[in-house]
Structure 1
């Protein structure tokens, strides 16, 4: 069995510091306390104050061993509410520590604490943690590295070193002000001013020459890079100049290794890859920029350096050629190569005859503006939906309402299909189909039932990719394609042999993706698009998985310090 560790994470607006290891492979039963301060920070020639964990941005990397349970004491010493989500951690029978605001908990208010128990089960590789309230995750996030129970028991070459790489972004203005402004004016959020690699913009931005992340490597050594996309609103292309990489894992699961000269990674997703330092000893750029097909987006490029230890410092190297920012096939083709790695102690268990077959449309929407002066299309206000339902957050958590039997907080009739069938991906979807319904609805699932969800992107307002994330579960991605899903033709091509096991998957623009999972984790679990502007506009829904009959199939009770509204 795993061990239990206790950590204390405190929040405040603080100066940028380098990440530090909270828990290393050999540590057990350690208690951590971190001071926080409020300090203006200079980035891109401007001063601002940011919200962080333990004075670090990105936040501290947490190292655990497969099957461990940790306790994270979140002490909110900032002036705004906060929650923390443990992205990709299934939290068996314990949704109380999952973190999404007003879904599984009320926020942790300034001056209060919350002890979150985090139970790891079969996850392996790289996950991450981040704020799940307002837009705080822009600066409140960090990696989670899960070692195998037996040291260096990897299904690939044992790496010489392991390095977290977190892709992020930076606004010169206060990110909560960005959120408030676009929600008020009904338009799109202002673009960020820079993308980041491990908190640093790189050479191509003003005032950032000295603030470039550098990875020093030894010739002939192999490095395991653990990448997290913490960017708020865009899928990212990433490439290392002069080197191919070997992809070995994603979203806390191993993949059959494959080689690529670039990576496409969605917000919320993690990717593990091996880098063999076998090129001419010199300096090489790591570079990342957005993949986006519509709407406003930051079209800049962030860089970091790989420097061979024997190389003499010289001028920055040439940029590696990244796919074009609108290269949909490059994004989709990369993800299509994912296949789960078969292991004796990790059996593949794809539901073959799912008892629940759901069809979820993912749409951009508009709603009328009271005075027709909003900044969305035709003077309306932007919205977003699942099955034409724009989700309205309640003011008491759905989990608490469900557990205590509080009526009037949510409805239990979230539709399993859209209310109206139409040509979802036609070139021009009529404006009459752009307007959604507002609701706070959940869908109940019986314990241990099997589920298939077909996510169908639509071209209402405009077609875009949607990285969909399910809390409390990993799921098998059994199929995907472009255009409208064909219920008679497309299931014939499902991969039911070795589909990847994911917790976040990008549904391609004007396309579809099918996932399957077994509903064996009782509780309240959020499903949402991981583009932050889309969840702010309401592209989310909630599953309630009912208790089973045995004690091991029932949700645990809440902790004594559970946050109150």
Structure 2
């Protein structure tokens, strides 16, 4: 009996040791950077562009202290991190928190249970996202493998946009005039424009070994532009998007809407030499004359070790309006087929995306009669006033901050847009299906719609009118995403399980469209069990934006705070356990995670595991599970001590 207890204790200790608490400090401040023949002052994190990469393993706890030394309010959003039971760490200003004021700080604490792949982080306040961003990489924990051949090396590729001006001024000028902002002056790869621009003196170079397998982690951190990405002389095998594993998709062109990520394998089997990695805009606006576009091309270099960087080969890029290439990429993605698509549907919505005009607001002092506007179902969304965030208003019972009457369908044709702060309340564990319609109005463009707090299945998408009778849903192996590119004049159908209580922003990731009103918020209720009930927020969180709340949070920020416990590793079956026929790990004889009962309905929030099984309920419970496991370990050790005492 004693030996059994000790063996069990050692096993539990090993499982806890797999996860860690990973800590970072982000100092947001001004820096000077030389780009495009001029010196520009930008806001950045730790004096870097892009900012530092966060690198963790699945199940780790993450702690990031953000110190705001800039002259602007700022928040940080962890794009694609589910924030299970930690909505106050999500980051959108005045949705999940009040902004971090100049000279202030806030420590974000959250976990990443059940997530693997490439995510990213960025400012979620004004146009600061143009320079305040970085990669967020979640690798499998020790003992787990990728569901594809292991890469020999990994290269993060963060694509961005560059302005030769203060980006806050770029946005402010547009808002005051009620117009779209000026287009960027250049694109960037890992903060560098490449050698095709005027005065270019620097380019990002990835040095690789010949005959190697390279995993490119590609992120579109741009504000306004859909992007084509190619590498001369090489093809891609796409293995994941938005930190969700996919079936292999072979292509020579990656397409990324703002906010999206792609993991792609590249075999360096070409003739030794140097090859351009090229980035160019995919212009989705119709008509194309409605707004000026950035038609430039950014480059980086893929250089085989031991060869010269000059002259690199250049890939043939698609035309900027090549919707066929973009749609072939988006529509061709498939998931691994697990977990199952949730059903039946409890909440069915149709959300129509619209661009238009509204009368100028009194604050728009340079506006001439009407201002550019956008809406979902005729509601042009406005963030609440500076008195409280939406989550803070809910947590503190403040009335008049928002209304819970966002409509489930579009208004009658011809109805004018209406301004409002409307949310859609959803019961815990409801299955929500949304038909996103992007009508063929003038103007129209592809809208990348991002959902905070959840992944969703993409069941169908297409161009032209949405006709339910003729649409075939993919209920077998749909891809899971957190950001969906809805084609101009087209549609997409998504489905998710509302199993994460909080206030969750659902908005266009073209940054100018957010202040124009292209967004709404899902308010997901707590469930009826302790594990589905939102716990009290941390003491350093500011949900109500008054001086008293900021002072109390500042005091809590400097006081010692309990660290967020890492999530335990899922229990693994013996290596000899059979796995599904299409399981890469099972085929390789690796340990597999067997299917097991969970408290939630099947959901893309539960990771699509490589072996086809569902994660254990401990994975979905998040950091609390580590506490339960620690308690069990203590009981075992106590029993051991008592046994020894009796002996």
Task: Say which SS state the counterpart of residue 290 (structure 1) adopts.
Answer: strand
Q: Does 1 or 2 have the higher relative contact order (CA < 8 Å, sep 6+)? A: 2
Q: 1:330 aligns with which of 325, 329, 334?
A: 325
Q: 1:467 aligns with which of 448, 468, 484?
A: 448
Task: Say which SS state the counterpart of residue 454 (structure 1) adopts.
Answer: strand
1:562 deviates by 1.2
1:55 deviates by 1.1
1:458 deviates by 1.8
Task: Say which SS state the counterpart of residue 325 (structure 2) adopts.
Answer: helix
Corresponding position of 1:445:
426
Corresponding position of 2:226:
235
1:312 deviates by 3.2
**Aligned pair in 2 of structure 1 residues 546, 300: CA closer, same or farther (>3 Å)?**
same
1:296 aligns with 2:292: yes
Task: Say which SS state the counterpart of residue 126 (structure 2) adopts.
Answer: coil
1:370 deviates by 7.8
1:379 deviates by 6.3
1:47 deviates by 1.1
Corresponding position of 1:35:
none
Task: Say which SS state the counterpart of residue 49 (structure 1) adopts.
Answer: strand
Kindly indicate whether the alpha-carbon contact (under 8 Å) linking 2:207 and 2:303 is maintained by their aligned counterparts in 1.
yes
Distance 1:330 1:312 in 2: 32
1:5 deviates by 2.3
Corresponding position of 1:159:
151
Distance 2:480 2:248 in 1: 14
1:152 deviates by 6.4
Task: Say which SS state the counterpart of residue 512 (structure 2) adopts.
Answer: helix
Distance 1:106 1:521 in 2: 21
Kindly indicate whether the alpha-carbon contact (under 8 Å) linking 1:363 and 1:459 is maintained by their aligned counterparts in 2.
no
Corresponding position of 1:4:
21
Distance 1:328 1:540 in 2: 24
1:151 deviates by 5.0
**Greater CA deviation, 3-12 or 352-361?**
3-12
CA offsets per residue over residues 224-261 of structure 1, 9 Å max, x none?
Answer: 01011001011100110011111000111111012100
CA offsets per residue over residues 392-430 of structure 1, 9 Å max, x none?
Answer: 11121000001111000000100000111x4xxxxxxxx
Corresponding position of 1:315:
311
Q: 1:483 aligns with which of 431, 450, 464?
A: 464
1:149 deviates by 1.5
Q: 2:250 aligns with which of 222, 245, 259?
A: 259
Corresponding position of 2:624:
none
Corresponding position of 2:512:
533
Corresponding position of 1:381:
371
Q: 2:133 aligns with which of 141, 152, 169?
A: 141
Task: Say which SS state the counterpart of residue 443 (structure 2) adopts.
Answer: coil
Q: 1:502 aligns with which of 456, 462, 481?
A: 481
1:69 deviates by 1.1
Q: 1:284 aligns with which of 272, 275, 286?
A: 275
- How do 1:280-429 and structure 2 match up within 5 A? 280-294=271-285, 295-317=291-313, 319-342=314-337, 347-369=338-360, 380-394=370-384, 395=386, 396-420=388-412, 422=413
Corresponding position of 1:34:
none
1:304 deviates by 0.7
Corresponding position of 2:635:
none
Q: 1:272 aligns with which of 257, 263, 271?
A: 263
Q: 2:186 aligns with which of 191, 194, 209?
A: 194
Distance 1:313 1:327 in 2: 30
CA offsets per residue over residues 334-353 of structure 1, 9 Å max, x none?
Answer: 011111124xxxx3131232
Kindly indicate whether the alpha-carbon contact (under 8 Å) linking 2:176 and 2:366 is maintained by their aligned counterparts in 1.
no
Kindly indicate whether the alpha-carbon contact (under 8 Å) linking 1:368 and 1:381 is maintained by their aligned counterparts in 2.
yes
Distance 1:305 1:5 in 2: 32
Kindly indicate whether the alpha-carbon contact (under 8 Å) linking 2:22 and 2:56 is maintained by their aligned counterparts in 1.
no
Kindly indicate whether the alpha-carbon contact (under 8 Å) linking 2:440 and 2:490 is maintained by their aligned counterparts in 1.
no
Distance 1:370 1:272 in 2: 43
Kindly indicate whether the alpha-carbon contact (under 8 Å) linking 1:178 and 1:190 is maintained by their aligned counterparts in 2.
yes
1:219 aligns with 2:236: no
1:120 aligns with 2:112: yes
1:483 deviates by 1.5
Choose 1 or 2 for highest CA Rg: 2
Kindly indicate whether the alpha-carbon contact (under 8 Å) linking 2:382 and 2:515 is maintained by their aligned counterparts in 1.
no
1:536 deviates by 2.2
- The structure where helix makes up a greater share of residues is 2
Kindly indicate whether the alpha-carbon contact (under 8 Å) linking 1:367 and 1:380 is maintained by their aligned counterparts in 2.
yes
**Greater CA deviation, 3-12 or 184-193?**
3-12
1:75 deviates by 1.0
Kindly indicate whether the alpha-carbon contact (under 8 Å) linking 1:375 and 1:381 is maintained by their aligned counterparts in 2.
no
Task: Say which SS state the counterpart of residue 372 (structure 2) adopts.
Answer: strand
Corresponding position of 1:519:
498
1:369 deviates by 4.1
Task: Say which SS state the counterpart of residue 180 (structure 1) adopts.
Answer: helix
Kindly indicate whether the alpha-carbon contact (under 8 Å) linking 1:369 and 1:381 is maintained by their aligned counterparts in 2.
yes
Corresponding position of 2:55:
63
The alignment of Structure 1 onto Structure 2 pairs a total of residues equal to 519
1:374 deviates by 9.9
Distance 2:180 2:105 in 1: 34
Distance 2:264 2:404 in 1: 42
Task: Say which SS state the counterpart of residue 158 (structure 1) adopts.
Answer: coil
Distance 1:389 1:328 in 2: 29
Task: Say which SS state the counterpart of residue 184 (structure 1) adopts.
Answer: helix
Task: Say which SS state the counterpart of residue 246 (structure 1) adopts.
Answer: strand
